Amino acid sequence: MNIELQRVSKSFGSVQANQNISLRFESGRIYGVLGENGAGKSTLMKTLAGYQRADSGEIRFDGRVVDYRTPLAALREGVGMLQQDPLDVAAFSVLDNFVFGPLTARGVTGSAAAAELRRLSARFGFDLDPAMPTAQLSIGGRQQLEIVRLLALGVRALILDEPTTGISAQQKQTLFDALKQLAREDGMTVLLVSHKLEDVLALCDEVAVLRAGRLVGTRSLPATTDELVNLMFGQELAAENRTRVNLTGAPPLLQVSEVSLRTRRLSVEGLTVSLRRGEVLGLAGLEGSGQELLLRACAGLLRPSGGQLFINETELTGASYRGFKAAGVAFAAAGRLEEGLVAGLTLAEHVALMMKPTPLIPWAQAHEHTQQLIKRYNVRGRPDSRIEELSGGNQQRVLMGLMPESPSLLVLEQPTRGLDVDSARWIWHQLMARRDSGAAVLFSSPDLDELVTYSDRILVFYAGRTAELTVGGSPSAMLERLGRFIGGQFEELAS
């Protein structure tokens, strides 16, 4: 399918998300839609996928003007979109989600649907069990399920919004291999929305770059990283240098002693770790290896089945989230809209929720505090903007603004998930400022460069086992060693 966007514009109140954008996407090719957070790339693709209508401009498929108002209408035209957080029903099985909606309406159910699911999964090397509860799938598995569902619906153009966020390197390679098959063998038009230069350079044939809602250029690939960075940000970004703190003699803030953590799918036994004020401990490992269990135990969201946990020498083993919060622990989940923020509420309403409870909400004060948050954290939004209208980067800035100014311990699950390099650096500058004020930082990340750049030590999880690395020496050597540990090669510990 050949797609043309002609002078497409879209605004949300006073925020101009897309301004007169004209692009052409041809069948059989993979296109990158690149830009920093808030550049307008997701807005443009949601317009193409029927989630919203453009204020002006035209969309043409194979030269024919189309005008649809819903994602279902876009699907009928052959366009499907994989959201950054796949749109599935956690309570359903994999097969139920596969047939949910249009496939059921077509009468594709039961054994025929299961056979089609297995066929598509086998073709692309996806590991999808029709009977498995969808809630047990990783983010990568949920993406695979949504892709085969869209293919079963007959899409000819596939849009993927930040699909490599939060998935493992192996899952990313499987995804990229599948997308290449769809473009090269099936002649599909594939659009990859991303802020990750390495993904675009590895996969795409051509890239369109947006900045502040405008199209600033297109490039055939390969191109240089510096060239794309200049297009994204208008300048080259200097290398990030980390200043490490001398922690000699600092007392432990967090002490985890012989702790056992269990869920239905995984257990981590006898975990012992400590963290001092002013120290940054990174947690590494493939998704589902156990690092999220430690984070949630240290925030009071998961009760240990054994061992002890102390904050500032006060035992909090089994204490509630509220108890950990009272001890100075601040937690931020990877799922911004699932756990960190409340979809449907405005920025001012979020600020009001964080204020001291009173019989009547002081809206004037909440509005003033929201204006201060927007200014201080450079949020592209208004006090009356609903939180889901903001880009991922702006949502993360709001989360940072809602966190306490002087926490004892920051517990962060993928704090830069889905952020471009400039936004990620900004987030880390805020975190390092809190560290310099005496906070300790415990965070997880699938990004090895991020772990090596900001951690003092790295605790690696592999199938419930752990090993610790001290960060130092050559960054490339450190990355190589960390990669081997993530793969379970712990024998280096003996050397």
List of residues 6+ apart from 298 with CB closer than 8 A: 254, 256, 309, 324, 329, 409, 411, 442
Q: What sections of 234-385 are H helices per DSSP? A: 291-297, 321-326, 347-354, 363-376
Contact 310, 257 (CB under 8 A): yes
Please give the pLDDT value at position 237.
Answer: 54
From residue 224, give the alpha-carbon distance in Å to each of 44, 130, 228.
Answer: 25, 43, 7
In angstroms, the CA 424 to CA 431 distance is: 11
Tokens of 147: 């892709």
In angstroms, the CA 200 to CA 215 distance is: 17
Contact 293, 444 (CB under 8 A): no
Cis before residue 222, ω within 30 degrees of 0? yes
In angstroms, the CA 322 to CA 300 distance is: 8
In angstroms, the CA 88 to CA 334 distance is: 18
Which of 32, 418, 391, 39 lies closest to 199, judged by CA?
A: 32
Please give the pLDDT value at position 241.
Answer: 61
Would you give the end-to-end CA distance of the chain in angstroms?
56
List of residues 6+ apart from 224 with CB closer than 8 A: none
In angstroms, the CA 299 to CA 319 distance is: 9
Three-state secondary structure call for residue 490: helix
Contact 443, 412 (CB under 8 A): yes
From residue 210, give the alpha-carbon distance in Å to each of 25, 42, 190, 217, 492.
Answer: 15, 10, 18, 7, 45
DSSP state of 346: B
Three-state secondary structure call for residue 215: strand
Which of 343, 23, 75, 78 lies closest to 193, judged by CA?
A: 23
pLDDT mean for each 10 residues of the chain (495 residues): 94 85 96 86 92 94 92 93 84 89 63 88 90 85 89 92 77 89 94 87 93 90 85 65 63 92 85 94 86 94 94 93 94 85 93 88 93 89 89 85 90 85 85 91 89 92 85 83 78 45
Please give the pLDDT value at position 109.
Answer: 65
Q: What sections of 234-360 are H helices per DSSP? A: 291-297, 321-326, 347-354
- Whose structure tokens read 């297995």? 118
DSSP bridge pairs for 21: 8
Q: What is the dihedral of CA 198, 202, 208, 214, to 10 degrees?
A: -10
Please give the pLDDT value at position 224.
Answer: 85
Tokens of 371: 């204006």
Q: Is the dihedral of CA 468, 472, 474, 479 positive or negative?
A: positive
Which of 34, 47, 60 lies closest to 162, judged by CA?
A: 34
Please give the pLDDT value at position 38.
Answer: 76
In angstroms, the CA 473 to CA 484 distance is: 16
Give the DSSP H/E element, type plus range, for residue 483: helix 475-486
In angstroms, the CA 141 to CA 126 distance is: 8
Residue 326: count of CB within 10 angstroms of its CB: 13
In angstroms, the CA 433 to CA 351 distance is: 22
Give the Cα-Cα-Cα angle 466, 470, 475 (nearest 5 degrees).
115
Contact 392, 162 (CB under 8 A): yes
DSSP bridge pairs for 82: 160
DSSP state of 379: -
DSSP state of 71: H
DSSP state of 238: P
Give the DSSP H/E element, type plus range, for residue 197: helix 197-203
From residue 386, give the alpha-carbon distance in Å to each of 14, 69, 342.
Answer: 14, 21, 9
From residue 112, give the alpha-carbon distance in Å to each of 127, 147, 152, 154.
Answer: 18, 18, 12, 16
In angstroms, the CA 226 to CA 46 distance is: 28
Please give the pLDDT value at position 495.
Answer: 36
